[in-house]
Homo-oligomer: A and B are copies of this chain.
């Protein structure tokens, strides 16, 4: 499979593709970005790596971080996390309070905001130095120390974070938050404000293609069974109210962020990261979705 050619073709064709989409309006800091950027990196399990475009340009991973925090919480707190968050797709926007209210404070899954906030609460409880320990975990998964929180973005999220604050208070009113609201939000705003490049992100997600082991060291972060289940959650819940569409057209487990990034994997084969800042109406990268659709079409294999 000539992955390099496929990536180059995709990048070339997307250059002429219609320039649609919008930047997210609720985090001002995220609007300081080159709107027409495009980068894509694919890493295979056998150690090869292919890249095209702005593959080393750091961007805000935003909600992609939810997969990483879920992984660390799953590792630390085990199956107990599923008492506090479900695994069903939401069928609603990513930050719905009405659904959470209707479901009595148990978020439908860990990849919508409400669920990620519960996971953040678990990490605040379980980690000695939450922000340091989480960053260390991400750096280890990415195989590099050159990753950090973007404090300007975290601050921007805090200033415009009333809806997330509302979610944490509502969760707490149902008894599903154990720490102070401000602590949970502080952790969450930083977790979302990590900057990574496509190269770093693809490298990190090899973990999931490799069923829980770091590709380099072979260290097991989470076991086979849990890794498969995280992949399953990505498949059904990774794209907000567009998870079905992504499954339908791309057919790979993945996770998007409003920073324009998407990470996806083909279990047992490869991980892939793509970045393009303009978002479609559902909040997923417009060109990123298209790139991944073309990738599975041209490689000829999805998990289905």
Contact = CB atoms under 8 A, between A and B. Distances in A.
A233 to B, nearest CB: 6
Interface of A: 86-92, 96-102, 108-109, 162-163, 165-170, 172-173, 181, 225, 228-229, 231-233, 235-237, 241-245, 247-249, 251, 253, 267, 297, 302-304
B228 A247 contact: no
B232 A236 contact: no
Contacts of A303: 267, 303-304
Nearest to A88: B244
24 contacts: A88-B89, A88-B241, A88-B244, A89-B89, A89-B243, A91-B91, A91-B92, A96-B101, A97-B101, A97-B166, A97-B170, A98-B99, A162-B173, A162-B181, A163-B169, A165-B165, A165-B181, A166-B170, A232-B247, A233-B244, A236-B247, A237-B244, A267-B303, A267-B304
A241 B88 CA distance: 7
Contacts of A173: 162-163, 166
Contacts of A225: 297
A172 B26 CA distance: 13
Given A232-B244, A236-B244, 18 more contacts: A87-B244, A89-B91, A89-B243, A91-B108, A96-B98, A97-B98, A109-B244, A162-B170, A166-B167, A166-B169, A166-B170, A169-B169, A225-B297, A231-B304, A235-B236, A236-B247, A237-B244, A267-B304
Contacts of A170: 97, 162-163, 166
A237 to B, nearest CB: 7
Contacts of A247: 87, 232-233, 235-236
A166 B95 CA distance: 13
A245 B166 contact: no
A232 B253 contact: no
Contacts of A236: 89, 235-236, 243-244, 247-248
A65 B208 CA distance: 34
A87 B236 CA distance: 12
A244 B162 CA distance: 29
A103 to B, nearest CB: 10
Nearest to A239: B88
A283 to B, nearest CB: 14
B87 A90 contact: no
A102 B91 contact: no
Nearest to A244: B88
Contact of A228 (B99, B241, B304): B304
Contacts of A169: 162-163, 165-166, 169
Which of A101, A236, A248, A302 gathers the greatest number of chain B CB atoms within 10 Å?
Answer: A248
A88 B233 contact: no
A184 to B, nearest CB: 12
